[in-house]
Amino acid sequence: MSTSFIQYFQNLEQRPLERLLLLVAGMLLLWILEGAIPLFSLTYKKTKWRHAGINLSLTLIHLLIHTGFAVFIILLSDAAKKYEFGLVYWFHASIFLTILISFIALDFFGGWLVHLIQHKTSSLWRFHIVHHSDNNVDVTTGLRHHPIESVLRGVFFLIGVAVAGAPVYAVMIVQTIFVLFTQFTHANISLPKQLDKTISYILVSPNMHKVHHHWQQPYTDSNYGLTLSIWDRLFGTYKNLDPFEIRYGLDRYYPNEEDENLGLLMKRPFGKIDKESARYEDGGTKKLEV
């Protein structure tokens, strides 16, 4: 692997605008594909642009938070190098193996595990609802996260960095892959059925992830993977459902008609709960099971 390639990603965290351009380029490409080969004919509350505006507002906040986490990533990576701590150093990994180990560790901790915990912990689920409340899942839905969830994901991402002992260049490469792949799995695109199925044996395919956005449990509580599908298959959280049986949104917890209300999406997770009725004061229900 060339030195120039590694050097490019080594300093990428210092160029946030360049990272944003990579995200925008991937999003625009998939947006075009959504128009050419759509999976569903989505019915937006007002327009696709308004829907995108709500999601991209949350995306921008998410990216700003994770840009701040770059400081901690650098500190952790430098400490791992200094003390030779982490899988990368214990295995005396080559550059390629370093990237692979970092990818697997970050995908598990920063992708699958944190996602599972959010679904199984009521106090965290209330923030993750913001992501699931979208009734029109498309490429803009990928980073539709409440700021509190963004912080939580950042913490678990740091755990992955520490376990792997991942150097900065590996983190930046993996993080770029994650962002682009998140856009891909949420995009409203129709792939040939066999191609999608083949992809899903190793990686999370668009149809596989769409099952996770089905409005009813137990489908909502399945297919937690970010890029690798092996975690769901290994830990028994994989589920299959024909994409044309999928309906987006939530059957409780948040009013589907308010999925584009940015102010409510931001403040609703902080609402007080009547523990006996398991309802928010404004009438919405809340998941209590842990």
Dump the DSSP string for 100-135: HHHHHHHHIIIIIIHHHHHHH-HHHHHHHHHHHT-S
pLDDT at 168: 94
List 280's β-bridge partners, or say none. 273
Looking up tokens 């102010």, which residue turns up?
A: 263
List 189's β-bridge partners, or say none. 38
pLDDT at 205: 97
CA dist., res. 138 & res. 55, Å (int): 10
Tens-digit pLDDT profile for the chain (290 aa)?
A: 667 777 777 777 767 777 778 888 999 999 999 999 999 999 898 899 999 999 999 999 998 998 889 899 999 999 999 999 999 999 999 999 999 999 999 999 999 999 999 999 999 999 999 999 999 999 999 999 999 999 999 999 999 999 999 999 999 999 999 999 999 999 999 999 999 999 999 999 999 999 999 999 889 999 999 999 999 999 999 999 999 999 999 988 899 999 999 999 999 999 864 433 334 434 444 443 32
- Compute the 3-state secondary structure of the chain and give helix, strand, coil in percent, each to the nearest 5: 65, 5, 35
pLDDT at 4: 78
pLDDT at 290: 27
Domain boundaries of the chain, sorted by first residue: 3-280
Report whether the peptide linkage leading into residue 218 is cis, meaning its omega lies within 30 degrees of zero. Answer: yes
Q: Which two tokens stand for residue 146?
A: 């409440």
Q: How far is CA 29 from CA 18, 35, 213, 281, in A?
A: 17, 10, 22, 42
